[in-house]
Copies of this chain bind each other. A is one copy, B any other.
Amino acid sequence: MWPKSVALRKSAPIFAALGDETRLRLIALLCAGGALSISQLTAGSDITRQAVTKHLQVLADAGLVCDIKQGRERLWEFEPTQLDEARRSLDTIAQQWDQALSKLKSALER
């Protein structure tokens, strides 16, 4: 009855990481601005540096960003691979839905 798809288990953590406004903002910043340090990412926000650090860690665990140590700074940059994984997952769902719809339609027609 219940699907135990591996793809679902893989993509759920990615969606969970994306499911926070603050993290989506961080991703948007890193997409536009290239590699940024924690301080830079914190500047202008209304949360503390440590909160930003935690969010970055969540994104890193999901494979959406990666960090490069450079001197005393730690630069973060966007990593598009897992985002593509999420996109494929959504496409698959939409595809199955379309398929179910067309099956239903053809069943109604006969």
Q: Mark A40-84, 1 if CB is under 8 A from B, else 0.
A: 000111000000000000000000000000000000001010011
Taking CB atoms, residues of chain B closer than 8 Å to A28 are 3, 5, 8, 93, 96
- Most-contacted residue by chain B among A14, A78, A97 (CB, 10 A): A97
Q: Chain A at the B interface: mostly helix, strand, loop or mixed?
A: helix
Please tell me how many copies of the chain the complex holds: 2
Size class of the contact patch on chain A: 35 or more
Taking CB atoms, residues of chain B closer than 8 Å to A16 are 15-16, 19-20
Where the two chains meet, the residues of A that have a C-beta atom closer than 8 Å to any C-beta of B are: 1-3, 5, 8-9, 11-21, 24-25, 27-29, 31-34, 43-45, 78, 80, 83-84, 86-87, 90-91, 93-94, 96-97, 100, 104
